[in-house]
Amino acid sequence: MHRALCPVETLYVGQRSRAVLSCSLRGPVDAAALSAAYDAMTEAHPGLRSRIAQDGTGHVLRLLDEDERPRLTTRSGDGEEAYATELNRPLPVGGPLSRAVLVSAPDGESHLFVLVIDHTVTDGHSSIALHNALWDRYRALVEGESAAEPAATGPHWPEPISRLLPPADESDTAKYLDSRLEDVRRHAVELVPYDAATGDGTGPQGRIEVHRLALDADLTARLRRTARDAGVSVHALIAAALLAAARRRLDGDGPRTLGCLSPVDLRSRLTPPVPATALVPAVTTHLQTLDVAGDSEPLELARTVHGRLADFLARGDQFHEMRITPEIPRTPTLQLATVIATNMGVVPGPRLPNGLRAVDVRLVPAREQYFPQAGRSPVMACVVSFEGRLSIELPHFTACFSPAFMRAFRDDVRAGLLRFATAAEPGPAAAVTA
């Protein structure tokens, strides 16, 4: 059994990017039940037990044989070390497009569960939905609840999002592409220079690390109030803090052209809507360029980001953007930005059985290929609020951006967000970093 990839999904084949979901747990975990829950997910979602294969000039998802399908791996060890290992462990080409690992401390009370999924078959929303569904299944198994078994009618492949777009005139799409190409030609963005690269790719072997900024529920609520009072989104405030931090890494005080790339979820914008449980990438992007000076007012930056993104969505340009995505390999500047600010919004954490508690839940993007020799690149920020607490993950490759550089960048963004948060309600404020 196989399913052809659409041109948009094919772009992820070369990127080799993946979603890394992790859940730190306290309490007893039944490894057999968790293994059965993961098996149920891979049975219900054939993309998880598939590999990418060449098919003529294109690519397909091809089901793995039974002895090749992914199974839960369990081992003992330290959670932090295990997280670093799994973050840097790729999904091999030709192998399964998902991986699940449970690492338990010797006392059996502390655990780390890591779920890794290739972006060819998922996005942030569907990976979070899958993670929660897996734990729903686990809870049902250990508590003896009845759970629906997967239908025995063969694998159900979700339809590619690019085939669900509303109809459009080809000439309108061509005009949109011409306009975008002209915009990126006239407004070339500046990227953040690396501080750790040798420039020729011959330096020390790098690794993926993550610097994290997490706000507690009170600070998150205050940030939302600031956004509401200013008539902007929390996403716009975060984008403004990222842009300001990036500008401070460039020379001089005058205006510099910076780009902000905002992924846009298409699921709720289609008719009928596509549920998050459909394991398929359903994201397009919005790129805007702004002239940012050393003394630019962050709230004005936020208003600009918010207004332009709102206009983009009101015009329905998100559908045109998805249609022109196959042009990106020929013109990478269509998605070239100084900062990339994802936004999963407010999402629930997993519902666990009595006696088991989720201490922390994280979503971090990673990929296999980084290019220290390029000398500069966008800064990625993965933003999600689990259970009302905002978290910003800043993954980086240490042969490009050093840990010290990203730690300072993280602290700079944190300071900007705290200024926004304290504007809503005076008083002492603190943020948690990791």
Domain identity same for 135 and 188: no
Do 99 and 212 reside in the same domain of the chain? no
Over range 28-44, report the average pLDDT.
97
Q: Name the residue among 321, 239, 329, 339 with its Cα closest to residue 283.
A: 321
Q: What pLDDT, on a 0 to 100 scale, did the predictor assign at position 202? A: 47
Q: Is the pLDDT of residue 218 over 70?
A: yes
Which residues on adjacent β-strands are paired with residue 382?
A: 393
153 in any annotated domain: no
Q: Is residue 425 part of a domain?
A: yes
Q: What is the pLDDT of residues 149-185, one digit of tens each?
A: 555 556 789 999 999 999 999 999 999 999 999 999 9
Q: For residues 195 and 341, state if they share a domain.
A: yes
Does 13 reside within a domain?
Answer: yes
Residue 363 within a domain: no
DSSP secondary structure letter of residue 381: E
Give Cα separations from 129 to 123, 135, 148, 280, 429 (angstroms): 10, 10, 17, 11, 32
Strand 98-104 with 346-347, pairing: unpaired
CATH of residue 415: 3.30.559.30
Secondary structure percentages of the chain, helix, strand, coil, to 5: 40, 25, 35
Same domain, 309 and 379: yes
* pLDDT above 90: percentage of residues in the chain: 86
Q: Is residue 135 domain-shared with residue 243, that is, in the same domain?
A: no
212: β partners: 393
Residue 150 lies in a domain: no
pLDDT-based confidence at residue 387 (cuts at 50, 70, 90)? confident
Both tokens of 150, joined, read 């997967």
Whether residue 185 sits in one domain with residue 56? no
At 39-83, the pLDDT tens digits run 999 999 999 999 999 988 889 999 999 999 999 999 999 999 999
User: Within a domain: residue 39?
Assistant: yes
Same domain, 297 and 195: yes
If asked whether residues 256 and 331 sit together in one domain, one would say yes
Contact present, 372 and 206 (Cβ < 8 Å): yes
Predicted confidence (pLDDT) at residue 429 exceeds the cutoff of 50:
no
- Does residue 178 sit in the same domain as residue 136? no
On whether residue 152 sits in a domain, the answer given is: no
Per-residue pLDDT tens over the stretch 219-232 = 999 999 999 999 99
- In a shared domain, residues 200 and 102: no
Same domain? For 49 and 185 the reply is: no
- pLDDT recorded at residue 157: 94
Q: pLDDT tens digit string along 332-367?
A: 999 999 999 998 989 999 999 999 999 999 999 999
- Give the per-residue pLDDT at 431: 53
User: How far apart are alpha carbons 256 and 253 in whole angstroms?
Assistant: 9
Averaged pLDDT, 282-297: 97
Chain segment 230-244, per-residue pLDDT in tens: 999 999 999 999 999
Q: Residue 183 carries which side chain, given as an amino acid letter?
A: D
Do 96 and 187 lie in one domain? The reply is no
Asked if residues 41 and 130 have their Cβ atoms less than 8 Å apart, the reply is yes
Q: Which of 143, 176, 197 is the last residue of a domain?
A: 143
Least Cα distance to 134 among 25, 265, 226 occurs for 25
Pairing mode, strands 17-26 and 110-118: antiparallel
Q: What single-letter DSSP state applies at residue 401?
A: S
Say whether pLDDT at 95 is over 90.
yes
Backbone angles phi, psi at 194, to 5 degrees: -70, 150
pLDDT value for 92: 85
pLDDT at 286 > cutoff 50 = yes
Residue with tokens 């799994």: 86
Where residue 428 falls among pLDDT bands split at 50, 70, 90?
very low
Calculate mean pLDDT across residues 415-423.
Answer: 94
Joined tokens for residue 417: 């967000």
What CATH number is given to the structural domain containing 76? Answer: 3.30.559.10
What range does the domain containing 289 cover?
A: 166-350+368-433
Residue 112 has pLDDT above 50, yes or no: yes
Judged against a pLDDT cut of 70, whether residue 426 lies above it is answered with no
* Domain count for the chain: 2
**387 CB-side CA count, 13 A:** 10
- For the chain, the average pLDDT equals 93
For residues 317 and 369, which has the higher predicted lDDT (pLDDT)?
317
Residue 118 has pLDDT above 50, yes or no: yes
- The reply to whether 355 falls in a domain is no
